[in-house]
Copies of this chain bind each other. A is one copy, B any other.
Amino acid sequence: MDIKIVDVARLANVSPTTVSRVLNNNPIVKPKTRDAVLKVIEELKYVPHAAAKNLRQQKTMTIGVIVSDIKVSYNTDIVKGIQTKAYAQKYKVVICDTQNDLDIEREYLRLLMDRSVDGIILVASLLPEQEIVDLAERGFAVGIIGRRIDRANVLNVHTDNVSAAKEAVEHLIGQGHRDIVFLSGYANAKDSYDRLEGYIKALGMHSIPFRPELVENGNFNETGGYEAFARLKEKGLTFSAVFSANDEMALGVYEYCNEKKIGIPGEVAIVGVDNDRVSKYLTPSLSTIDQPKYDMGFLLAEKLIRSMNGEAEVPRVSVLNSRLIVRQSSTTYSR
CB contacts (< 8 Å) of A96 on chain B: these are 92-93
CB contacts (< 8 Å) of A51 on chain B: these are 50-52, 54-55, 60, 115-116
Residue on B with the closest CB to A255? B281
Query: With A94-B95, A281-B278 in contact, do A114 and B1 touch (Cβ < 8 Å)?
Result: no
CB contacts (< 8 Å) of A116 on chain B: these are 50-51
Query: This chain: how many copies in the complex?
Result: 2
Chain A residues 201-257 with CB under 8 Å of chain B are: 251
Inter-subunit contact A70/B76 (CB<8 Å): yes
CB contacts (< 8 Å) of A110 on chain B: these are 47
Contact partner of A79 (CB less than 8 A), chosen from B70, B80, B94, B111, is B70
CB contacts (< 8 Å) of A283 on chain B: these are 282-283
CB contacts (< 8 Å) of A282 on chain B: these are 281, 283
- State whether the Cβ of A138 lies closer than 8 Å to any Cβ in chain B: yes
- State whether the Cβ of A170 lies closer than 8 Å to any Cβ in chain B: no
CB contacts (< 8 Å) of A47 on chain B: these are 110, 113-115
- State whether the Cβ of A27 lies closer than 8 Å to any Cβ in chain B: no
CB of A233, distance to nearest CB on chain B (Å) = 21
Q: A49-B115, A51-B54 are in contact. List 4 more A-B contacts (CB 8 A).
A: A1-B139, A45-B138, A51-B52, A55-B55
